[in-house]
Amino acid sequence: MSTKHYFPSTAANTLVPRALRALVRANPHLELDYTDRVVSNAYHDNSLVSIIGGGGSGHEPAWGGFVGDGLLSAAVCGDIFASPSTKQVMKAIRLTPSSQGVILFITNYTGDRLHFGLAMEKAKAEGLVSNIAILAATDDVSIPKSKSSRLGRRGLPGHILTMKILGAASKQHYSFEKCLEIGQAVNDHTVTIGSSLDHCHVPGRQHQSIPQDVCVIGAGIHNEPGQQLISPVPSVEDLITRCIRLLCDSSDPERGFTTFGDGHSIVLVINNYGGLSQLELGALSDEVFAQLESNWNVLPVKALIGTFETSLNAPGFSITLCNLSNAAKQSKCDVDTLLQLLETSTTAVSWPNTTRPAHHEKRQSSSDLGSTSMETPGEGSIQIDPALLQRMIRQACEHIIAAEPKLTEWDMVMGDGDCGEAVKGLCESVLPLLDHEACQTGSVLDFLRQLSGCIDDMGGTLGAIFGILISAFQASLADVAKTWDSSADNASLYATALDQAVTSLLKHTSARQGDRTVMDVLIPFNARFIESGDFASAVELAKEKACETRYMEAKVGRATYVGQFHQVPDPGAWALFEILAGLAEVLSSSS
């Protein structure tokens, strides 16, 4: 890491004002109060909640680069690694007045808390604002709970997610109270860990190096000593494993600041501390993606990789995870709302205005052609009465829709309350198909293809289980039908195909009978059906097994995080029973 600089040490104090002056010259929508080093939005709207951020300089592009519509109203910039003064903060409050109120957004450091806190009290005493509050970012996980209970955790680069969502909420005319509630919730479920190979070099100050064979885990953004010094420098794989464990291991009594469950919507930020090449940062990011998926089953719904908050030229990086599902629940809004706020465009020059691409029809490739066609040549034809197929599917869907309230109630006790709505949504997407093409031919395979398309949109763990099962059942049924004697019992045909599908499913999940999941119904139902060929008898057993889940302790999935024992059935297991019961009712009435 180089300690050479273009500016001599005697000019170190001029760096901050000159950099700010260049920032506003290059971006006419920004204004600079040169004396107090406040960058503000020239088009600030007084009818919106004012979001003022700030802290020491040396973290560029934070904070000045994040001023603009939909993000910060103003940024207060102290000296390098030094909190801005109370006078500076007061200037920012005066430059960006608001009829709704002012939120002072800071990272949790003592100097910032004191100076912004004093400014808040002065603003109230002078009657400058109707509402004002401090929201301190506290996303660092390196410091254990036992050592941070009084002062709280440090603020690290994960704060950019809270800041962006907060600014977008203000832009969309959210109230002062709602902005504060959402911002606090996002912060509460954001966790960050930093790592560095050396300290940064502050111009004009003596440089103290970290030994060549040492890597820091728990590196802050002000050259603070790290929480863990590892020697020799570990492999990238080992380093990322250690870092992610600190973020994701909810069983760690000293950490576990938020939880990560199946189906949760997670945002990932990988931030350059200033001294890494984009190439190396990209390679590190690839390892993070790989380990999140393989070791923790975390697939981020959005990822930001770049330079957001630096420590001058420190050769290091930070990893941030934000659980939008938990934040949405805490703030009483939905995940899509938070994601939309995060992705709303802004005029802040240092925010990457990247949104998920709009849907456009793609030109069909050769691999797409025929993907939704009717039965393909070589498949056995599996036909049943179209009216019977339609009644069976409709009855199964109506069973689920009627059961949704109790499924939701049970899942709110043991999970996050989305199971009932998810399976109801699936059924509501299937029902319109019945009135059109799905059942008109009586082709079971054709219907299964269309059902798979609906399940693909379901999401969540149960959606994945259903998706694998139906896809495997479709493939097995088509394969078995090729050599099936058309005069043989159809029940045996379906039982054989289902047995093969369940075998395939078990390769993809560790859940087994006794774990309080949907498998507590599926596995015994399948065993009874393949043994007896009696669908009604297998459904009776399915109900019995669904009821038994009320006395089981969860061993996999989100319900394992629930400390107390509640005697309610597993909602996924009961949902499968309701589907089977609906099918059985129609079959019994038609026989």
- Residue 288 and residue 243: Cα distance in Å, rounded? 9
Cβ–Cβ under 8 Å, residues 569 and 549: yes
Catalytic residue among 44, 189, 222, 264: 222
Stretch (H or E) spanning 410: helix 386-414
Closest CA to 54 of 99, 13, 122, 109: 109
Question: Is 57 within any annotated ligand binding site?
Answer: yes
- Residue 228 and residue 386: Cα distance in Å, rounded? 66
21-47: burial string, b at 16+ Cβ within 10 Å, e else: eebbeebeebbbbeebbbbbbeebbee
Residue 262 DSSP SS3: coil
φ/ψ bin of 442: left (φ > 0), alpha (ψ from -120 to 50), beta (otherwise): left
Closest CA to 530 of 499, 506, 559: 499
- Residue 343 and residue 44: Cα distance in Å, rounded? 20
Cβ–Cβ under 8 Å, residues 113 and 54: no
Token pair 């909190």: residue: 83
**DSSP per-residue letters across 533-591:** --HHHHHHHHHHHHHHGGGPPP-SSGGGG--S------HHHHHHHHHHHHHHHHHHHH-
Q: Which residues pair with 67 in a beta bridge?
A: 72
- Residue 507 and residue 563: Cα distance in Å, rounded? 29
- Residue 551 and residue 539: Cα distance in Å, rounded? 20
CA 570 to chain CA mean position, Å: 24
Whole-angstrom Cα Rg for the chain: 29
- Residue 526 and residue 166: Cα distance in Å, rounded? 50
Active site residue 115: no
- Residue 113 and residue 108: Cα distance in Å, rounded? 7
Length of the chain: 591
CA 336 to chain CA mean position, Å: 11
Identity (one letter) of the amino acid at 229?
Answer: L
Evaluated on CA atoms 395, 401, 405, 406, the torsion sign reads: positive
Neighbouring residues of 92: CB distance < 8 A, sequence distance ≥ 6:
36, 38, 40, 52, 54, 74, 75, 76
Q: Tell how strand 302-306 and strand 266-272 pair up.
A: parallel
Stretch (H or E) spanning 522: helix 519-532
232 token code pair: 């020799």
Other C-beta atoms within 10 Å of 489: how many?
10
Residue 107 DSSP SS3: strand
Q: Which residues pair with 305 in a beta bridge?
A: 270
Binding-site residues from annotation for substrate: 56-59, 112
Binding-site residues from annotation: 56-59, 112
Positions marked active-site: 222
